[in-house]
Structure 1
Amino acid sequence: MILQAAATIVYGLLIAGGGVAGFVAAKSLPSLISGGLLGLVALAGGLLMATGHPVGFWFAVAATALTGAFFGVKLATGLGKGKPVIRAAGLLALSLAELAVLTLLG
């Protein structure tokens, strides 16, 4: 459970940081809001798991699944339009890795 919690805390910080970076780079308020909220939910899930609360697992799964779904759609639509999709691919891979940690170590 500790490895899951630590991975989820790092994941939450990365997602929240990405939302802030998107806002700073492109003045994207949706990036700030979605990255901030999903990052905070994942961070809360990790902290809850670290303190032994099983509901933290579901917070983490929800935040990770929503983030992964968003970037999966972004990747799929970007590929069809010839847009650069490296960020979307990276964040989708990060989300899938986090889901693997949550489910395989749970």
Structure 2
Amino acid sequence: MNPTLIATLAYGILALAGGIFGYIKVKSKPSLISGTISGILLLAAAIMQAMQVSGGLLFAIVVTAALVVVFAIRLVKTRKFMPAGLMLVAGIVTLVVMGTQFPTSG
């Protein structure tokens, strides 16, 4: 299995689970909504990659990069590692894996 596919799946599942956990723990509807949407988008990107659909990796990179920005801002505001720091680190690792596999021209 392709490393980018594994990274996309893992981060998508983590985002989805994090949103559900945030709702269960503190009844955060924004956490549930954003975690569900971002998780589903990443799982869709993983499916696109598995089916070798053009743009699947790029879609995963865009969603992951957006999440990295959101979690970086949230970490600065809250200064709490959980969940923002964890998702930030996982997102950066995911982007690194994706970046090593991204096709370049030339």
Query: What is the TM-score normalised by the length of structure 1?
Result: 0.88
What CA RMSD, in Å, does the superposition of the two structures yield over aligned residues? 1.4
Deviations 1:16-70 (A, max 9, x none): 1100000111111100110100111111101111111122112211221111111
Instruction: State the Cα deviation string for residues 50-93 of structure 1 (Å, max 9, x = none).
Output: 111122112211221111111100111223xxxx3342111100
Aligned to 2:40: 40
Contact 1:18/1:35, CA 8 A, preserved across alignment = yes
SS of residue in 1 equivalent to 2:38? helix
Number of equivalent positions: 102
**Equivalent of 2:85, from 70, 77, 89?**
89
Unaligned 5+ runs, structure 2: none
The answer to whether structure 1 residue 26 and structure 2 residue 26 are counterparts is yes
Q: Match of 2:10?
A: 10
Normalising by structure 2, what TM-score?
0.88
In structure 1, runs of 5+ residues without a counterpart are none
Matches within 5 A, 1:52-71: 52-71=52-71
